[in-house]
Structure 1
Amino acid sequence: MAQKFNGADTPNDTFWIGGTSYMTPGCARCNTWRASVRSLVAYRATTKLQRLSTATDPNSSTTTLPAPAPYTPPQTGLLSRLPRSWVPYAELIRLDKPAGSYYLFFPCVFSTLLAAPLASPVAAPAAVLGTSLLFLAGAVVMRGAGCTINDLWDRNLDPHVARTRLRPIARGAVTPRNGVVFAGAQLLVGLAVLLQFPPACFFYATPSLLLVAIYPLAKRVTYYPQFVLGLTFSWGAIMGFPALGVDLLSNGAALAAAGLLYSSNVAWTVLYDMIYAHMDIKDDAKAGIKSIALKHDKETKQVLTGLALAQVALLAGAGIAAGAGPAFFIGSCGGALATLGIMIKRVNLKSVKDCWWWFVNGCWITGGVISLGLAADYVVRYVERDERDERDGEAST
């Protein structure tokens, strides 16, 4: 910035800032002081204007951040095979990113396997498998509906986050009105799936819709929206019991097992979503989006460890309430403790790629060992029941 004073002791000092002259009558020292102050103010103002102009001037020599990459239709994978008009809706339900559906499905499997030995008689393998497949269909549909509702609420926030700015509603590929219609259609399909279960399931499932609707709002008012997500995604930990005909209101052991299993899954959801939230932590801070990762950035691994211990302890409590055997405590509880410990130790929270890898694969690693332990315990107890029935039959003859 050019700056010139034409004579320190002349009655009329003149100085130029950016080509503009200022006349300062009066004593030389006073004039020099006034000139310096005005010079500083003008310099800062002009510099700010220059920065603004260079940020938008393509011919400027000043280095600016590259413009965000434009949206490119998928060229590979499942979405590339769909008609172009379908692609935004497939993206809206995250059809190409099914990890969320699995996280919604696993609590349903856990509760189905835990409830099966408590049914009277013990649920047959065909019933357990059929119920699990229905839950899988429901998880896929309701996860898609949840994503659509979430994106409708977040349509003014998503453009400010690098990872979400090209989501269909945020980029204008799906209008809010069409998004509402699409969400309604998915909820109707979800209702059709729900009606395939015993009638009692409708009573237990309905309250979860309120949680689906309010989760996106939680990000605006609390640093702990992951707990609301946990309450939502863990609902399946209750549903397996009424799905197999176990009445929670009249069976105290089943009610305790369901409550403890539900709480365990809430802890698990908060744990994995805290890792997921670290992928957006910088953009979330700029956009004013709250998360547990932002609140506990410096002590994330300690929080994750506490959540893992709570998850396993509550899972063990559910097994005790349900009368589970060694296969459950060794396979499910021991396996969960080991896999969660490895994940917490190895995940690099500063790496978006690493956080994503553990989020995607963690559901299969931890969810898989819990399911295997529960399945082994169910098989043992089912075989024991058959053997007991045979002995009772022989004794009666």
Structure 2
Amino acid sequence: MSTGSQVLTQDPLLSPTERFLPKGIKEVLPSPELANPISALNSQNGLLSRMPASCVPFAQLMRLDKPAGFWPYYMPSLLGLGYGACTAQSAPSPGVLFSLCGLFYAYCFFLRGAACCWNDTMDQDFDRQVGRTRNRPIARGAVTTTQAHLFTAACVLAQGPFLMMLPLVCTYHAIFMNVLFGVYALMKRVTYYPQVFLGFPFAWSIFIGCASLGVDFASNDRIFLTTMLFTVVVLWTVICDTVYAHQDIKDDVKAGVKSVAVRFADSTKELLSMLVFFLVALLLGIGSLAHLSALYFMFTCCGSAALFIMLLAKVDLKEPASCASFFYAGFFYGGLSLVSGFAIEYAAREICGENFDLEQALLS
């Protein structure tokens, strides 16, 4: 049943937000604290607690109360900029790179808002059956389906001003990336590998990052390298999001939600260990084929390998808090590790010249 067709309560004793909870919602909410989203947020998040009650559900749709989820959207953009800067025939200036980092930060804010809102709209019936998600704004009835569609459209349109500052080809890539996020929301119904599909729109940011610098990522001398880096982001997404999905695995099985975590529930660590191996192998191949210095291998290759080996050894897949910590660390620190090698390589070339040689620099 869609949210718009439900009978909404109008109890005058309830708060403005609680009045729009569907009848029977108290039976599915796990506790009185969660039944009042405003009071729950007041104790958890200073930003949302200062917002008008009518704005809180829309802020939740954009995940303003969950900033950790921003990094999967933003880090691949930085990776694309770093890769483009290190493989460009004429390296961009630091000022250009810093400006683009800021522009992509703002752009990804609205990209994430659109993707999350659309995902919640499509998943509202599933969300009501999963403990962690049943208090999301659409699932609990604080936002109707129609309002959610309009808000998604607003977030998509809000990306426009930032894309207008970039070459036109970036807009074409952004449109396709939004479409991929839209299709991803349906994947958990038809395949056990939605995390693989999710990796594609995240990895598409590499194309936008390169295109923003005027770098032809599909040229004959770059197409193989670009494909390898694209695959790295897909693997990175599968690793982090599969662990994240373990938070809900019991509810997902009951609700009929498919995921890599459900498919490989008893062998997740073995699978992800293999994916980490392939991810690091691809990173080593990129460095070798692009003739990058030891700095890249030290920070990106060794750093990423050490981080994910440590995270996989430490995570307890039966403990939701441990899975959530892995998700944050995997995307934030993992993203920093992936980007750092390109960033330091670029900085060394800017300081020491285009023909920078680490071994020679250390001996001199």
Alignment correspondent of 1:183: 152
Alignment correspondent of 1:153: 122
Q: Identify which of 279, 284, 306 aligns with 1:316.
A: 284
Q: Identify which of 77, 99, 104 aligns with 1:130.
A: 99
Q: Identify which of 68, 75, 84 aligns with 2:30.
A: 68
Amino acid aligned to 1:245: G
Q: Identify which of 229, 237, 247 aligns with 1:269.
A: 237
Amino acid aligned to 2:125: N
Amino acid aligned to 1:336: S
- More moved, 197-206 vs 106-115: 197-206
Secondary structure at 2:142's aligned position in 1?
coil
Secondary structure at 1:324's aligned position in 2?
coil
Alignment correspondent of 1:30: none
Amino acid aligned to 1:253: D
Amino acid aligned to 1:71: N
Change (3 A) 1:345 1:154: same
Change (3 A) 1:359 1:131: same
Alignment correspondent of 1:295: 263
Alignment correspondent of 1:79: 48
TM-score (norm 1): 0.78
Alignment correspondent of 1:198: 167
Moved segments of 4+, more than 3 Å: 384-388
Alignment correspondent of 2:325: 357
1:386 Cα deviation (Å)? Answer: 6.2
Amino acid aligned to 1:200: V
TM-score (norm 2): 0.85
1:319 Cα deviation (Å)? Answer: 2.7
Matched, 1:383 2:345: no
Amino acid aligned to 2:30: P
Alignment correspondent of 1:112: 81
The answer (yes or no) to whether the contact 1:114–1:322 under 8 Å persists in 2 is: no
Report Cα offsets for 1:251-291 as digits up to 9, x if no partner.
32332222211110000000000000000000000000011
The answer (yes or no) to whether the contact 2:121–2:148 under 8 Å persists in 1 is: yes
Amino acid aligned to 2:132: R
Amino acid aligned to 2:36: Y
Structure 1: any 5+ residue segments left out of the alignment? 1-64, 389-397
Structure 2: any 5+ residue segments left out of the alignment? 1-26, 357-364
Amino acid aligned to 1:228: F
* Structure 1: distance between partners of 2:166 and 2:336: 24
Larger relative contact order, structure 1 or 2 (CA cutoff 8 Å, min sep 6): 2
The answer (yes or no) to whether the contact 1:161–1:280 under 8 Å persists in 2 is: yes
Q: Identify which of 98, 121, 124 aligns with 2:90.
A: 121
The answer (yes or no) to whether the contact 2:117–2:148 under 8 Å persists in 1 is: yes
Pairing 1:1-397 to 2, within 5 Å after superposition: 68-69=30-31, 70-73=35-38, 74-76=41-43, 77-249=46-218, 251-385=219-353
Report Cα offsets for 1:290-310 as digits up to 9, x if no partner.
111011011010011011112
Change (3 A) 1:264 1:387: closer
* Structure 2: distance between partners of 1:66 and 1:199: 47
Report Cα offsets for 1:11-51 as digits up to 9, x if no partner.
xxxxxxxxxxxxxxxxxxxxxxxxxxxxxxxxxxxxxxxxx
Alignment correspondent of 2:13: none
- More moved, 79-88 vs 207-216: 207-216
1:200 Cα deviation (Å)? Answer: 2.2
- More moved, 264-273 vs 237-246: 237-246
Amino acid aligned to 1:348: D
Amino acid aligned to 1:346: K
The answer (yes or no) to whether the contact 1:113–1:378 under 8 Å persists in 2 is: yes
1:153 Cα deviation (Å)? Answer: 0.4
* Structure 2: distance between partners of 1:376 and 1:211: 32
Report Cα offsets for 1:147-183 as digits up to 9, x if no partner.
0000110111110000110100001100000100000
* Structure 1: distance between partners of 2:195 and 2:87: 31
Report sequence identity in percent: 37
Higher Rg: 1
The answer (yes or no) to whether the contact 1:328–1:374 under 8 Å persists in 2 is: yes
* Structure 1: distance between partners of 2:112 and 2:187: 18
Report Cα offsets for 1:35-68 as digits up to 9, x if no partner.
xxxxxxxxxxxxxxxxxxxxxxxxxxxxxx9972
Change (3 A) 1:67 1:135: closer
Amino acid aligned to 2:243: I
Amino acid aligned to 2:212: A
1:237 Cα deviation (Å)? Answer: 2.0
Change (3 A) 1:67 1:205: closer
Secondary structure at 2:221's aligned position in 1?
helix
